Structure 1
Amino acid sequence: MSRRFNDLTVIDTPRVDESLRYASSLAAVGVLVSREPVVTRAFAHWLDKRLTEADADAVISIGAAHKVAYIDPKWPVVHVADALFGPLVDYYPKYRPLNGRSRRIGNALQRQLINRNQPILLTSDWAARSAAEYYNVPNDRFEVAPLGANFDLEPAPCERTSQGDKLKLLFVGYDWPRKGGPLVLKVFKELRRHLGDAELHIVGCKPAESFGVEGVVHHGHLSKTDPAQAALLESLFRESSFLFMPSQQEAFGLVYCEACAFGLPSIARDTGGVSAIIKNGENGLLFDADADVETYVAGIREGWADEQRYLAMTRAARAAFENRLRWHVWGATIEAQIRALGQRDDDD
């Protein structure tokens, strides 16, 4: 954004956000602290003062509905999210214990933001469709704008000329169960029976069930802020055959965008907003939500057996990054929305 606007002020609340993350565990007993009126009104009061000090012309809210919903209506807001409150709490199991009060105040806050009649950008057709249905508003109330891959410096293109001598699968995620880790391991074991030298590289966690499995390599947590660890992570993206993360729930999935940046096709489950990133047979393999181990094994073997088809997927993955899944593209959409808001205010 700083490349598009001369005067950009970042208003962040890291300490409060960290406290709210800890408090989010209360969702298990029915309470969502971040949507409590005392919290949302305090955010609004504080932000109004900060925005006045910054002499802001517009506000870009990234997943911060609880912070901006009740700010002064004079501030034009472009809100960005991977899903809105109602569909999100119905989708993720961790929110199912929420009590009626937390759901009511959360939905009231979300409707407040919708009723501002200012742009709301969602990352997928799934998010836009589910929001329109849940809040009973027209589909065109929301615009779809996928986020970009999370890099300070974009990876240089590097076209693959061969698929390599062995199948290397890469899993990247902290939440092994929700990200589909148990399924990954079952599929890998079957693939290993057919392709004796296949490898599975696991980043972000060290699940006990994967130890002792031949062909599995554990890398643990790799920090992008540590040069050596960042270099290892990049080499895994460049040298693997597929990113394999069949999440049980995934509102979007930035790691799929990151894989595309390296020309790495993804294997994923068709759930939530994943299909906004992965197009089956183009830049990866997208399986039905209820697909079993045998279906994954057959699909992966078929995709891997045809080298030209596989190489076409690697090229399509990089093209998807360059054309759809990079911050430059997302930033152009945000800029257009902000300038349209300014024009609308001038017309008024």
Structure 2
Amino acid sequence: MLKPSFKIAYLSSENPKNKKVWSGTHYSIYKELCKIGDVEILGPFQPKFQIWLSKILNQLSLIFTGKRISYRQSIYISKGYAAYFNEQLNAKTYDLIVAPAASCEIAFIETKTPILYITDGTFASCLNYHKSLSRLRQKSIEEGNQIEKLALQKAKFVIVSSEWAKKSVLEDYGSIEDKVHVLPFGANLETIPTQLEIKFDIPDKWKILFVAVYWEDKGGDRAYACFKELKDKGYPVEFSVLGCKVPEKYNDPDIKIIPFIDKNSKGGQEKMAEIFKTHHFLILPTRFDCTPIVINEASAFGLPSFIARTGGIEGHLKDGVNGFTISYTDTGSEYAENIEQFINHPEKYVQLRTKSRKLYEEELNWDHWRKQIEKIISS
């Protein structure tokens, strides 16, 4: 049982009140922590000079060696964060420090206050997987791993969103298993319908939703190929692209482009809700991902997801429950085959939607996340 005046320091270089940051996950975590205790935000903060200098060094490294410096996972930047956050932490007393996606921020801080570190992927798990962590200099790799290890060592509690992330925490960094907890995130939407408000009617036209900021990163070509295969077979389908530009060569009258929606506004939240409510499948043949929040958001509306089997996807997606994972190498056909079976069997489609919503209600929501966090820090 936590004391009534439980004080939490929210430690991040980002502003958790900005819903654009980390797909709104910072904001959702902050909101839930406010239900546990008194939360003080210690950021946002960026060591501007260190970042400016590191960017120059990175450009020089690319020019002369063809390799990058991951300056946001560098000791130089990390110590810049530590100087600022140590001062903040020394000014007041806290019962808990919560550090979401903040390995670099906490690696060199000095504190006796217990730390709860939240991550959806370690440096090692994302190395040469995410393009921002490819072609790194050896020294940069060593520093990135050192920072991650220090962050994990400093943390009393480590919260990861998938078994994929947990595996890396244990195997790559030798963390103590007892302090590592797998806990899925929730849906970063404020407008969530009740179960009675969702209609699982069989449509005249099946709408496939693709959500991305960058077409290539999320496998837009594969999503389009899936849509075209279904359309060429005579199925009444529409392909909606939300948030990114579609290359000119992908041209079809049944493609609907929806510009990026800002979740910071009430209007933006309502638009997102309407989109999820009026579509029938979510497709994401992503090329790299940890645990996409969009799966949870789709599940909140009973919208089944068809996602590439990669990274920590299975932390949010359970095969046959709220969708299906598809072979990473598939170029569109397997996606089309999976969606086709539900178009042909409407009763199975309704069952899948019902199970998707149920999983959201039981696990993929922030209320569940908060209750589990309370149990963990009270133990």
**Which residues in structure 2 correspond to 1:70-85 (within 5 Å)?**
70-85=108-123
**Which residues in structure 2 correspond to 1:91-110 (within 5 Å)?**
91-110=129-148
Q: Judge conservation of contact 1:270–1:288 (CA < 8 Å) in 2.
A: yes
Instruction: Give the superposition deviation at 1:131.
Output: 2.5
Instruction: Give the superposition deviation at 1:183.
Output: 0.3
Q: Judge conservation of contact 2:119–2:161 (CA < 8 Å) in 1.
A: yes
Task: Give a deviation string over 1:216-268, Cα, whole Å, max 9, x none.
Answer: 00111111234444333221100100111111111110111111111111111
Q: In the alignment, does 2:40 pair up with 1:2?
A: no
The one of 75, 82, 93 aligned to 1:37: 75
Q: In the alignment, does 2:320 pair up with 1:288?
A: no
C-alpha distance in 2, partners of 1:338/1:52? 22
Q: In the alignment, does 2:44 pair up with 1:13?
A: yes
Instruction: Give the superposition deviation at 1:274.
Output: 0.7
C-alpha distance in 2, partners of 1:11/1:75? 14
User: 1:309/1:81 Cα in 2 relative to 1: closer, same or farther (>3 Å)?
Assistant: same
Instruction: Give the superposition deviation at 1:290.
Output: 2.3
Q: In the alignment, does 2:356 pair up with 1:317?
A: yes
Task: Give a deviation string over 1:141-197, Cα, whole Å, max 9, x none.
Answer: 521011111123544333334222221001111011111111001111111112343
**SS of the residue 1:325 aligns to:** coil
Q: Judge conservation of contact 2:104–2:151 (CA < 8 Å) in 1.
A: no
Normalising by structure 1, what TM-score? 0.89
Q: In the alignment, does 2:196 pair up with 1:129?
A: no
Normalising by structure 2, what TM-score? 0.82
Residue number in structure 2 paired with 1:115 = 153
Q: Which amino acid aligns with 1:103?
A: I
C-alpha distance in 1, partners of 2:248/2:228? 12
Q: Which amino acid aligns with 2:223?
A: V
Indicate the structure with greater helix content.
1
User: 1:224/1:250 Cα in 2 relative to 1: closer, same or farther (>3 Å)?
Assistant: same
User: 1:67/1:137 Cα in 2 relative to 1: closer, same or farther (>3 Å)?
Assistant: closer
Q: In the comparison of the two structures, how many residue pairs are matched?
A: 338
Q: Judge conservation of contact 1:61–1:78 (CA < 8 Å) in 2.
A: yes
**Which residues in structure 2 correspond to 1:178-197 (within 5 Å)?**
178-197=217-236
Q: Which amino acid aligns with 2:134?
A: R
Q: Which amino acid aligns with 1:39?
A: I
User: 1:209/1:184 Cα in 2 relative to 1: closer, same or farther (>3 Å)?
Assistant: farther
Instruction: Give the superposition deviation at 1:117.
Output: 5.7
Instruction: Give the superposition deviation at 1:46.
Output: 1.5
Task: Give a deviation string over 1:47-73, Cα, whole Å, max 9, x none.
Answer: 122123231111011000101121114
Instruction: Give the superposition deviation at 1:288.
Output: 1.9
**SS of the residue 1:121 aligns to:** strand
Residue number in structure 2 paired with 1:344 = none
Instruction: Give the superposition deviation at 1:276.
Output: 1.4
Q: Which amino acid aligns with 1:185?
A: Y
Residue number in structure 1 paired with 2:293 = 254
Residue number in structure 2 paired with 1:267 = 306
Q: Judge conservation of contact 1:283–1:314 (CA < 8 Å) in 2.
A: yes
**SS of the residue 1:80 aligns to:** strand
Q: Judge conservation of contact 1:257–1:321 (CA < 8 Å) in 2.
A: yes
Q: Which amino acid aligns with 1:134?
A: D
C-alpha distance in 1, partners of 2:372/2:238? 40
The one of 260, 264, 267 aligned to 1:221: 260
- Structure 1 portions without partners, runs of 5+: 341-348
Instruction: Give the superposition deviation at 1:337.
Output: 2.7
**Which residues in structure 2 correspond to 1:131-170 (within 5 Å)?**
131-137=169-175, 139-157=177-195, 158-170=197-209
Q: Judge conservation of contact 1:269–1:287 (CA < 8 Å) in 2.
A: yes
